[in-house]
Amino acid sequence: MGALHEGHGALIRCAQKENDICIVSIFVNPAQFGPKEDFKRYPRTLEKDKGFLKRMKVDVLFLPSAKEMYPQGFESTVETGQLGRVLCGRSRPGHFNAVATVVIKLLNIVEPRTMVLGQKDAQQVIILKRIVADFDFKTRIRICPTERNTLGLALSSRNRYLNGRERLEALVLYRSLKEASARIKGKERSAQKITDGIRALIQRHTHGTIDYIACVDAATLQPLTMIKGRVMLALAVRFGKARLIDNMIVNAA
């Protein structure tokens, strides 16, 4: 969606390292924003993005218009099922259907051998893996770790909505995930205690409004009672205009 930052930079380097040609799409997809969401004010920094991509020696920039992507008469969408209705899908109804729809279009237009995605959008990653498998796309999915600033804040185009205080407070998100991860490694097995711990930290140290804090199965995104296997800790918290998400995968042996 553009407003490129070093998180995108890491995806590009990953793509370039493993492939001959690297194609970047920039498309602020209107369909995936809810009526009250930030489509209009979503940061658009196209000239800066172009310079960034040129310096990174990206081979192709695919920059379609909304009219090209959704011409008159367009009416098909993808229904992502249960995976799209939990976590971010609860507060963003239809969001993942629209993401899946535009990604199918991008896959068919670009025909990439590999699609590189960031782990920051963990639910999106799982849903797009599902879509690629369910619809038999031959594209491989490559996932890159979340890029963070030196203090641990996950890089996001929406971070530029944060004022100075919010930017400091938002550091608690990663801290709370790390602390929860340490407790799981220390044999805590109650999902409730883990999410309570994250909640307490965020409420104590920030003015943010918690959207969700979840401890789910990392494959199915279904909520856990007892922590077991590959677990995803995930959260979404609003700081003013910015709705920030972060997540961490923990292996509870």
Q: Active-site positions? A: 8
Stretch that binds a copy of itself, among 73-81, 163-171, 195-203, 221-229 (CB under 8 A): 73-81
Q: How far apart are CA 96 and CA 123, in angstroms?
A: 9
CB 139 to a copy of itself: min, Å: 10
Binding region for a copy of itself (CB under 8 A) out of 4-12, 74-82, 140-148, 228-236 = 74-82
Residues of 29-65 as b/e, b for ≥16 C-beta within 10 angstroms?
bebbbeeeeeeeebbebeeebbebbeeeebeeeeebe
47 binds a copy of itself (CB under 8 A): no
* Packing angle, helices 6-18 and 46-55, rounded to 10: 40
C-alpha–C-alpha distance, residues 11 and 115, integer Å:
10
Q: How many CA atoms lie within 13 A of 103 on its CB side?
A: 26
Which residues, including other chains, have CB under 8 Å from residue 142's CB and lie 6 or more apart? 14, 15, 18, 114, 115, 116, 117
**Least distance in Å: CB of 62 to a copy of itself?**
12
Q: Nearest distance from residue 12's CB to a copy of itself, in Å?
A: 23
**What are the C-alpha distances in Å from 238 to residues 109, 159, 166, 168?**
35, 11, 10, 14
Instruction: For a copy of itself, give the closer residue by CB, 96 or 174.
Output: 96
- If binding is defined by CB under 8 A, does position 240 make contact with a copy of itself? no
Q: C-beta of 108: minimal distance to a copy of itself in Å?
A: 4
Site for a copy of itself (CB under 8 A): which residue of 40, 65, 72, 75?
75
Based on the shown chain and the rule CB under 8 A, indicate whether residue 105 belongs to the binding site for a copy of itself.
yes
Q: Could you give the string, one character per residue 124-163, with x where binding to a copy of itself holds by CB under 8 A and - elsewhere? A: ------xx-xxxxxx-------------------------
List contacts with a copy of itself (CB under 8 A): 73-83, 97, 100-101, 104-105, 108-109, 130-131, 133-138
